[in-house]
A and B are shown apart, each in its own frame.
Chain A
Amino acid sequence: MPVPNGISHSAEEDDIDYSDIEAKYRVEMEEGFDNIIVVDGVPVIDELKLEKLLSKICKEFGKKGLTVKASSIHVPWDKTTGKSKGYIFMELQSPEEAIYAQNAMHGHAFDSKHTFAVNRFSDIDYFANLDETYEEPQASTYVPKEHLRAWLADPQGRDQYVTYRNDQVAVHWHGKPSQSEVAYEKANWTELYVQWSPQGTVLATLHRRGIILYGGPSWKELIRFAHPLVKLMDFSPNEQYLVTWSNEPIVVPEGAPQGPQYFSPEDEGNTIAVWDIKTGHLLRTFPTQSNAQDDPNAKKQMQWPALKWSGDDKYVARVTPGQQISVYELPSMALLGKKSVKIEGVVDFEWCPLGDKDKDEMERDAKTPSGLVPGKAKKVRENMLVYWTPEVANQPARVTLMSFPSRSLLRSKNLFNVTECKLYWQNQGDFLCVKVDRHTKTKKSIFCNMEIFRVREKDFPVEVVELKDTVTDFSWEPRGERFAIVSSNDPNLGNPGPGVTIKTDVSFFQLEHGKGDFKLLKTLSGRTSNTIRWSPRGRHLVLATVGSSTKSELEFWDLDFTAEDAGRREGQTFKEEWGSGIQILGTADHYGVTDVEWDPSGRYLATSASAWRHTLENGYAIWDFRGQEIEKHILDRFKQFLWRPRPRTLLTKEQQRLIRKNLREFSRAFDEEDIAEESNVSAELIAHRKRLVDEWNAWRSRCKKEVADERRKRGKKANEPEPEAAKEEIAVWIDEVIEQIEEEIMD
């Protein structure tokens, strides 16, 4: 044995037992079987057909991009029968390829009788050698989770809102001044923006690597969705599913984690992903709709939400412009009826939202087992969607209502001279307004028609409101029978320039019961308002001038100013003069306002100026419904303000009626609280100021003494300021007429 470096080992050293060290540092050799897979479910053949079978198998694997040579397949034979055993061993180029082959070929139908079952050889080895003794799995101790709706149980009944400023995200309580406080604050909580789920249960933050949902009183992380470089997100209405979009196509790098919550190689190249919120599993991915279709004139802008949810989370649909609407069933995300609805030229569609009535019925249905009381159970309204198709050749434009899953056409209406249609559902699904921008024959001027479908009535009657101007904004009253529009005939409309403020008119319309048509309540002319925000409870609305550099007015309107109690409004026929209840409550101004949002209770309005739009006077303000400023914060680099939405009330109709009946009792208690609060706050403030002044005065007297000492030291007399009166100069201004010349012109 050659001795390295000429150092000879002594005999003792040779005796040392290295086995423990060797065992410890033994290099785990690659088993070498990682690239071998076992394919089960192969047809049992005799030797004659071997070549044919092998070439067929190679071909099948080749279809999935796997090159397999016949020589790398080993077929074991049953010596007694002379036939194959029905499984084969296959050696692939690399372990990665073996994993891919397993994923791709497992469950592959070879022919009508044979389906492949693919396992990795090392797995079989592992399971064959598995320890047979059963080990009791450790039952993990139950960790109670925080209640995600805990904020609703706030004893003071406060609402929450989230603000995003610089890199600081904060969740605030909004209540009386002494109760308004920061509930939770965190720096760098998000990288892009934050978003509440539609019922306020969770807060989503967007990061480079995906989305994280937070919730509960301590804002713990709930779940993550790994969608790299996600830019947009959308919740389903009942918070069961999540849709995410990134402008970067999905890439699954090698060695990426595998699992139901991660993208698999099949998802590569897609940009839209649908996730299950509860499990965190990825349901399906889609490519972005290229609605350009090689038409350079088509709008490049992507529509968002790209996938639209039905009100009950059962279906999600997307449109392929010009061709079809594809409806997918949840939770399988399979195409409903295995095919899309082919509609020539379809441009856009909207689901009918579920009203409170529909939700009540659904709940009742869920409680009574179906089939028990067949006579009583009223059929729940089917999901409905409306779509429109433009004029093509000699076909008129058409708006169609279709129900799902039956796919029956409920109503359609032909329209002429159509430039553009916009679909607006009232939030209870009672009415549908199709705002039709129409052009005259010469296509020079554009005017507007509103086709209003009364969806709850038989045969879906349609009412048309014609307007001469262009309608720039439309908004239904939530739960109401009114809508407001912003219209304009300003020549500058459509070519916005710096400093151009577009003059607009705002009009209110209301359904006239009995006649069943929509009648103009009132028009406010010569405004600059371009945005309508109805209170979520109806009745109140705010008109705002948003996005203008010169105007930033807010107008607070009440549409039932004369009505005694808005709660009794339902069913009551209007005896007063039409539109007499419309009254302005107040005006305000928030310079540079970019966003206007009501709180979920309809008592407060928040306006914010976001640094994403401009950098002037960023910040936010909260107003009450009368336009009184409650608080205002001017904050540099302020980005986002969002009220936390509330879920539907949990009180029954009966409970609500009781509250309304005893409103006086309740309000007395609240009034008392308010008074206590007020005196409390002012007492606190006065005490605080008193303290400040006392501190200051103490410091000043110390200072004065020091100054006096200093002066004395310098050998000067402490020159106390002379009494003010001595210096007082009495300036008296006397108008004195020195000379007065009067000229008289003599003729």
Chain B
Amino acid sequence: MRPILLQGHERSLTQIKFNAEGDLLFTCSKDHIINVWYSHNGERLGTYDGHNGTVWTVDVDSQSHFLISGSADNTLRLWAVATGKCLYTWELPTAVKRVAFSEDDDQVVCITEQRMGHQGAIRIFDINREGDGTDQSEEPSSMFNPVGSKPTVCTFAHTPGMILTGHESGKVALFDAKTGEEVNNNERAHMDVVTDLQLSPDRSYFITSSKDKTARIHDTRTLAVLKTLQTETPLNSAAIAPNRPYVLLGGGQEAMSVTTTSLRQGKFETRFWHKVFEEEVGRVKGHFGPINTIAVHPSGKTYASGGEDGFVRVHHFDESYFKAKPYGDIEPED
């Protein structure tokens, strides 16, 4: 499994995303740039220029038509995937930490930071898909401020109108998008900051990663913890591999202490865990800084990781990955 090294960023990666077909890979970084690559060969297709601060987050709709991005320059931008043009810019009071498209692509949820007297807020914008996409309403369709610990990650849950969030305290919660009411929560899902939250293809369960060195799989409906994967390093990202019973975890030593630790101590590896047996099955080395974000191709044949070191590594799985049966014939369904 020879990785393709994508060297298109000058600073650490913040989030990477495959589109629905998996042929494109979007990467964003602290260097203000969003890149898009062909996932099969690592060729760069283009960039989305315009942000004036760290791009914290990016998401693409299911038709690969629109791209949404959030940045530390306090803007949320809508881009045309094909042309790289910025279609619309929402000016927000603070930095945008997380964005996500709804399943139907007609809504976008974003988290803004709690800073400068502004409370951390979750906003939902309706996306007007008619026309060229430049005609968007400036006002969010709904907005609310979750009380208590501030949210760090969010996405649309299993049903429309439900927002799934992960919080700084380790809480995982479900909010009603319209009223902002906390429908359900699990206060003790994690013991530390929730750093990533990725849904299963059918949105019925999701995986969260946390600085408390664990990743957990939850039932979206009840928020009950189904599986706990205990590692020995703080985790920054967790992804579910379709078609194989694995999840991918990435993390490593805190970025601030990286320079004082050796490569080996840092544990900058992507770990593969069996999601049902809660056992580690393998590791992929390569990054020389903590892994900040991991994404898996929707078909499960490729995965990519973005690190604090500024590199994105795209791995196409070998044949053996699909054939190997480390646990014999016992294989769970998806």
Nearest-Cβ distance from residue B274 to partner chain A, whole angstroms: 9
Among the listed A550, A634, A703, A724, which residue makes an inter-chain contact with B232, where contact means beta carbons less than 8 Å apart? A634
Nearest residue in A to B221 (C-beta to C-beta)?
Answer: A706
Compute how far the CA of A696 lies from the CA of B205 in the bound complex, rounded to whole angstroms: 12
Query: Is the Cβ of B327 less than 8 Å from the Cβ of A689?
Result: yes
Q: A634-B232, A692-B277, A710-B159 are in contact. Are A549 and B332 (CB under 8 A)?
A: no
Compute how far the CA of A714 lies from the CA of B102 in the bound complex, rounded to whole angstroms: 15
B160 at the A interface (CB under 8 A): yes
Query: Is the Cβ of B333 less than 8 Å from the Cβ of A700?
Result: yes
Compute how far the CA of A634 lies from the CA of B221 in the bound complex, rounded to whole angstroms: 34
Query: Is the Cβ of B204 less than 8 Å from the Cβ of A689?
Result: no
Nearest-Cβ distance from residue B63 to partner chain A, whole angstroms: 15
Q: How many residues of A sit at the interface, in one of the four size bands?
A: 20 to 34
Among the listed B40, B204, B261, B332, which residue makes an inter-chain contact with A697, where contact means beta carbons less than 8 Å apart? B332
Query: Is the Cβ of A703 less than 8 Å from the Cβ of B204?
Result: yes
Among the listed B160, B219, B232, B334, which residue makes an inter-chain contact with A714, where contact means beta carbons less than 8 Å apart? B160
Nearest residue in A to B203 (C-beta to C-beta)?
Answer: A707
Nearest-Cβ distance from residue A445 to partner chain B, whole angstroms: 34
Contacts of B261 on A, CB cut-off 8 Å? 616
Among the listed A550, A704, A721, which residue makes an inter-chain contact with B204, where contact means beta carbons less than 8 Å apart? A704
Compute how far the CA of A703 lies from the CA of B217 in the bound complex, rounded to whole angstroms: 14
Query: Is the Cβ of B202 less than 8 Å from the Cβ of A686?
Result: no
Query: Is the Cβ of B202 less than 8 Å from the Cβ of A707?
Result: yes
Q: A692-B276, A699-B226, A704-B202 are in contact. Are A710 and B334 (CB under 8 A)?
A: no
B265 at the A interface (CB under 8 A): yes
Contact digits for A681-708, partner B, Cβ 8 Å, 1 yes 0 no: 0000010011011001101110110110
A643 at the B interface (CB under 8 A): no
Contacts of B205 on A, CB cut-off 8 Å? 703
Compute how far the CA of A431 lies from the CA of B232 in the bound complex, rounded to whole angstroms: 47
Contacts of B330 on A, CB cut-off 8 Å? 686, 689-690, 693
A731 at the B interface (CB under 8 A): yes
Compute how far the CA of A634 lies from the CA of B203 in the bound complex, rounded to whole angstroms: 34
Contacts of A599 on B, CB cut-off 8 Å? none
Q: A703-B205, A710-B159 are in contact. Are A617 and B265 (CB under 8 A)?
A: yes
Nearest-Cβ distance from residue B244 to partner chain A, whole angstroms: 14
Interface residues of B in 307-334 (CB under 8 A from A): 327-328, 330-334
Interface residues of B in 159-178 (CB under 8 A from A): 159-160
Q: A617-B232, A706-B221 are in contact. Are A686 and B204 (CB under 8 A)?
A: no
B158 at the A interface (CB under 8 A): yes
B115 at the A interface (CB under 8 A): no
Interface residues of B in 181-234 (CB under 8 A from A): 201-205, 219, 221, 226, 232
Query: Is the Cβ of B332 less than 8 Å from the Cβ of A693?
Result: yes
A474 at the B interface (CB under 8 A): no
Compute how far the CA of A481 lies from the CA of B305 in the bound complex, rounded to whole angstroms: 57
Contacts of B299 on A, CB cut-off 8 Å? 724, 727
Query: Is the Cβ of A550 less than 8 Å from the Cβ of B262?
Result: yes
Contacts of A636 on B, CB cut-off 8 Å? 232
B285 at the A interface (CB under 8 A): no
Nearest residue in B to A550 (C-beta to C-beta)?
Answer: B262
Query: Is the Cβ of B40 less than 8 Å from the Cβ of A591?
Result: no
Query: Is the Cβ of A731 less than 8 Å from the Cβ of B40?
Result: yes
B264 at the A interface (CB under 8 A): yes
Nearest residue in A to B200 (C-beta to C-beta)?
Answer: A703
Nearest residue in B to A695 (C-beta to C-beta)?
Answer: B276
Nearest-Cβ distance from residue B259 to partner chain A, whole angstroms: 14
Interface centre among B160, B232, B331 (most CB of A within 10 A): B232
Compute how far the CA of A591 lies from the CA of B261 in the bound complex, rounded to whole angstroms: 14
Query: Is the Cβ of A696 less than 8 Å from the Cβ of B276?
Result: yes
Compute how far the CA of A617 lies from the CA of B205 in the bound complex, rounded to whole angstroms: 32
Among the listed A591, A693, A701, A721, which residue makes an inter-chain contact with B276, where contact means beta carbons less than 8 Å apart? A693
Query: Is the Cβ of B204 less than 8 Å from the Cβ of A549?
Result: no
Query: Is the Cβ of A686 less than 8 Å from the Cβ of B328?
Result: yes
Compute how far the CA of A616 lies from the CA of B262 in the bound complex, rounded to whole angstroms: 11
Query: Is the Cβ of B204 less than 8 Å from the Cβ of A696?
Result: no
Contacts of B265 on A, CB cut-off 8 Å? 591, 616-617
Compute how far the CA of A704 lies from the CA of B327 in the bound complex, rounded to whole angstroms: 25
Contacts of A550 on B, CB cut-off 8 Å? 262
Query: Is the Cβ of B332 less than 8 Å from the Cβ of A707?
Result: no
Nearest-Cβ distance from residue A636 to partner chain B, whole angstroms: 8
Compute how far the CA of A634 lies from the CA of B231 in the bound complex, rounded to whole angstroms: 10
Compute how far the CA of A157 lies from the CA of B67 in the bound complex, rounded to whole angstroms: 66
Interface residues of B in 234-259 (CB under 8 A from A): none
Query: Is the Cβ of A700 less than 8 Å from the Cβ of B327?
Result: no
Nearest-Cβ distance from residue B253 to partner chain A, whole angstroms: 10
Contacts of A710 on B, CB cut-off 8 Å? 158-159
Nearest residue in A to B232 (C-beta to C-beta)?
Answer: A634
Nearest residue in A to B267 (C-beta to C-beta)?
Answer: A617
Nearest-Cβ distance from residue B279 to partner chain A, whole angstroms: 9
Compute how far the CA of A707 lies from the CA of B157 in the bound complex, rounded to whole angstroms: 12
Nearest-Cβ distance from residue A706 to partner chain B, whole angstroms: 7
Nearest residue in B to A636 (C-beta to C-beta)?
Answer: B232
Contacts of B334 on A, CB cut-off 8 Å? 700
Nearest-Cβ distance from residue A673 to partner chain B, whole angstroms: 25
Query: Is the Cβ of B333 less than 8 Å from the Cβ of A697?
Result: yes
Nearest residue in B to A731 (C-beta to C-beta)?
Answer: B40
Nearest-Cβ distance from residue B11 to partner chain A, whole angstroms: 27
Nearest-Cβ distance from residue B248 to partner chain A, whole angstroms: 18
Compute how far the CA of A706 lies from the CA of B232 in the bound complex, rounded to whole angstroms: 36
Contacts of B40 on A, CB cut-off 8 Å? 731
Nearest residue in A to B160 (C-beta to C-beta)?
Answer: A714
Compute how far the CA of A697 lies from the CA of B330 in the bound complex, rounded to whole angstroms: 11
Compute how far the CA of A591 lies from the CA of B266 in the bound complex, rounded to whole angstroms: 12
Compute how far the CA of A357 lies from the CA of B330 in the bound complex, rounded to whole angstroms: 59
Compute how far the CA of A200 lies from the CA of B102 in the bound complex, rounded to whole angstroms: 65
Nearest residue in A to B202 (C-beta to C-beta)?
Answer: A707
Nearest-Cβ distance from residue A14 to partner chain B, whole angstroms: 70
Interface residues of A in 710-739 (CB under 8 A from B): 710, 714, 721, 724, 727, 731
Q: A700-B333, A703-B204 are in contact. Are A549 and B262 (CB under 8 A)?
A: yes
Nearest-Cβ distance from residue A321 to partner chain B, whole angstroms: 41
Nearest residue in B to A682 (C-beta to C-beta)?
Answer: B328
Interface centre among A616, A696, A724 (most CB of B within 10 A): A696
Contacts of B264 on A, CB cut-off 8 Å? 591
Contacts of B204 on A, CB cut-off 8 Å? 703-704, 706-707
Nearest residue in A to B226 (C-beta to C-beta)?
Answer: A699
Contact digits for A627-651, partner B, Cβ 8 Å, 1 yes 0 no: 0000000101000000000000000
Nearest-Cβ distance from residue B232 to partner chain A, whole angstroms: 5
Contact digits for A280-303, partner B, Cβ 8 Å, 1 yes 0 no: 000000000000000000000000
Contacts of A690 on B, CB cut-off 8 Å? 330
Nearest-Cβ distance from residue B218 to partner chain A, whole angstroms: 12
Compute how far the CA of A48 lies from the CA of B219 in the bound complex, rounded to whole angstroms: 105
Nearest-Cβ distance from residue A435 to partner chain B, whole angstroms: 35
Compute how far the CA of A625 lies from the CA of B201 in the bound complex, rounded to whole angstroms: 49
Contacts of B262 on A, CB cut-off 8 Å? 549-550
Contacts of B159 on A, CB cut-off 8 Å? 710, 714
Query: Is the Cβ of B277 less than 8 Å from the Cβ of A689?
Result: yes
Compute how far the CA of A724 lies from the CA of B201 in the bound complex, rounded to whole angstroms: 14
Contacts of A724 on B, CB cut-off 8 Å? 299
Nearest residue in B to A693 (C-beta to C-beta)?
Answer: B332
Nearest residue in B to A697 (C-beta to C-beta)?
Answer: B333
Query: Is the Cβ of B158 less than 8 Å from the Cβ of A707?
Result: yes
Compute how far the CA of A714 lies from the CA of B330 in the bound complex, rounded to whole angstroms: 36
Nearest-Cβ distance from residue A634 to partner chain B, whole angstroms: 5
Closest A-B pairs by Cβ, 3 of them: A703-B204, A693-B332, A696-B332
Additional A-B contacts beyond A549-B262, A700-B332 (16; CB < 8 A): A617-B265, A634-B232, A636-B232, A686-B328, A686-B330, A689-B276, A689-B277, A696-B276, A696-B333, A699-B226, A700-B334, A701-B333, A704-B202, A707-B203, A721-B201, A727-B299
- A-B CB contact pairs (8 Å), 11 listed: A689-B327, A692-B276, A696-B276, A697-B333, A700-B334, A703-B219, A707-B202, A707-B203, A707-B204, A710-B159, A714-B159
